[in-house]
Structures are given as C-alpha cells and as structure tokens.
C-alpha cells in the first residue's frame, strides 16, 4: 500500500521511494550556478596545531569550513526577512511546515519592449486553468541544462511580472519556487516589487510564505500535481540553502496521473 496525503477533500497517493530532487548542488569552483556577484562556494580544510582536517592529507577525520552566500549560491529558500529590518524575521522562525501540495507549470517568458524577458500573469493563469495549490513551481522555457551552471550576474535574467506575485498572494499560494536567480529584476533600484507583492509586505505581511530561487526541474518531470518536501537548514537567517523534493501525487480514483 502506498502512503496517502489528503488535500481539499480528496486523498492522493505518492511513492516515497521515487523522490524528484529539484535543487542545485552547493559545490566549490567556478562551474556552479552563481548570481548577484556572490563569491563561489569555498570549502577549506581546518588546521589546528598538528591536526589537519583531511583524511587525504593524513588527518584522522575530514573537518572543513564552508563559505557560501545563500542568496547567490545554489538553491535557496527565503522568507519576508529578505526585505525586512526585523531581526526576528528569520526563516527558521516562520517556516514551520515542510510538506505542501504543489503544482508545477512550464511557462515561456515574454520579450518586453525594453528587452527584458518576463514571466507574465496571463501565461501562468492559462497554464494553471484555475487549479492553484499551496505551492507553485515555475519552470521557465526553454529548459536548458545551462541553468545548472550559469553565471547570472550582470546578465539581467528573466524575472516575474509583479502582477503575477500579487495574484499568487490573493490566491493564497504560500510557497513560490522558480528556476531564476530572483523573482525581481536584477537591478530595479531596490524596489523588489514582486517580493513585496508576494509577501504583502509591510502592511499585511504573509509571514509563513516563502520564495525559493535557483531550482532546476529536469525535463523528465512532467507538469502536474506533487507533494513538495521543502527541506532547509536551521540557519538563523532570512534565507537558507534548501533542497525541495517532489513526489508525484496520484488520485487512486483516477488511474491517470494528475495534471
């Protein structure tokens, strides 16, 4: 028997032995995804007296220090603390659930008169056809493998129309996952319109809502309904490296996969 997950009056099945990892790894070196001029991930061997934290170098154990920038290196999840001065606005305080029903849709950004590529509200609404869920996963097209190693800094990457972020908030979508470095334009004068709209900050802040950026959804993962396991560290910060994992949801009363 497969485990089940209830959602909106229906009971879905999922196979826990078939996880779909949509995170990007955190590894040292220049051939990893990078954005907002962050330094590459660095891993350093710790040396104290005669101790060396490397088995390969003769030590008894591997003991290393990691230097990374959550917003600039790899897949990361952020809360409204990203745009708030409140020291209590940290992800570990506000992300208290980790399983959500998510809908994955693939959308092609539209070229704007100013040359920007933007994911538009109308295109996402068309793909969803009214079927929203607790979380939305946006896969932008074309879905090339270069997303796994691209250096985005200074390239004005694709971003979301602020109206889309506002609409998702009104539809009570709590968690937004994108394969982009940011939901906002790389350089926008500090306005961060989509961030503000999605979190409804500062007047009606959705404190439990999160945005996850720099995911990668493999081509073999079909659009549809999934159980999302949003894994993060217990880092006391507005953002954390994260590992979103999907499980395809199946309605046992309908032998076809959910779409």
Query: What is the full per-residue pLDDT of the chain (259 aa) written as tens digits?
Result: 899 999 999 999 999 999 999 999 999 999 999 999 999 999 999 999 999 999 999 999 999 999 999 999 999 999 999 999 999 999 999 999 999 999 999 999 999 999 999 999 999 999 999 999 999 999 999 999 999 999 999 999 999 999 999 999 999 999 999 999 999 999 999 999 999 999 999 999 999 999 999 999 999 999 999 999 999 999 999 999 999 999 999 998 875 555 5
If DSSP states are collapsed to H, E and C, what string results for 197-228?
Answer: HHHCCCCCCCCCCEEEECCCCCCCCCCEEEEE
Element (H, E) at 170: helix 162-170
| CA angle (31, 36, 41) in 5-degree steps | 40
pLDDT at 253: 83
pLDDT at 255: 58
Report how far apart the first and last C-alpha atoms of the chain are (Å, whole number): 23
Query: Residue 32 corresponds to which tokens in the numbers above?
Result: 């990893």
- Identify the structural domains of the chain with CATH numbers, from first to last: 4-23+71-248 (3.50.30.50)
pTM of structure: 0.96
């Amino acid at each position: 028997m497969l485990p089940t997950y209830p959602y909106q009056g229906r009971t879905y099945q999922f196979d826990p032995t078939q996880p779909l990892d949509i995170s990007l790894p955190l590894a040292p070196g220049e051939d990893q995804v990078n954005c907002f001029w962050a330094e590459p991930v660095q891993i350093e061997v710790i040396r104290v007296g005669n101790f060396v934290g490397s088995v390969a170098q003769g030590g008894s154990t591997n003991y290393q220090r990691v230097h990374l920038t959550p917003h600039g290196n790899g897949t990361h999840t952020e809360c409204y603390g990203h745009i708030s001065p409140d020291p209590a606005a940290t992800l570990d305080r506000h992300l208290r659930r980790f399983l959500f029903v998510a809908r994955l849709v693939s959308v092609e950004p539209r070229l704007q008169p100013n040359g920007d590529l933007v994911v538009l509200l109308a295109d996402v609404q068309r793909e969803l056809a009214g079927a929203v869920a607790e979380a939305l996963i946006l896969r932008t097209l074309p879905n090339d493998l270069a997303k796994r190693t691209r250096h985005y800094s200074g390239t004005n990457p694709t971003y979301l129309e602020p109206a889309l972020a506002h609409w998702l908030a009104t539809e009570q979508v709590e968690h937004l996952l994108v394969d982009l470095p940011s939901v906002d334009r790389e350089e926008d004068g500090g306005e961060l319109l989509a961030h503000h709209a999605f979190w409804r900050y500062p007047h009606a802040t959705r404190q439990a809502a999160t945005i996850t950026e720099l995911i990668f959804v493999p081509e073999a993962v079909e659009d549809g309904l999934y159980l999302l396991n949003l894994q993060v560290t217990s880092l006391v910060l507005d953002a954390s490296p994260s590992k979103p994992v999907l499980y395809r949801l199946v309605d046992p009363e309908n032998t076809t996969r959910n779409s």
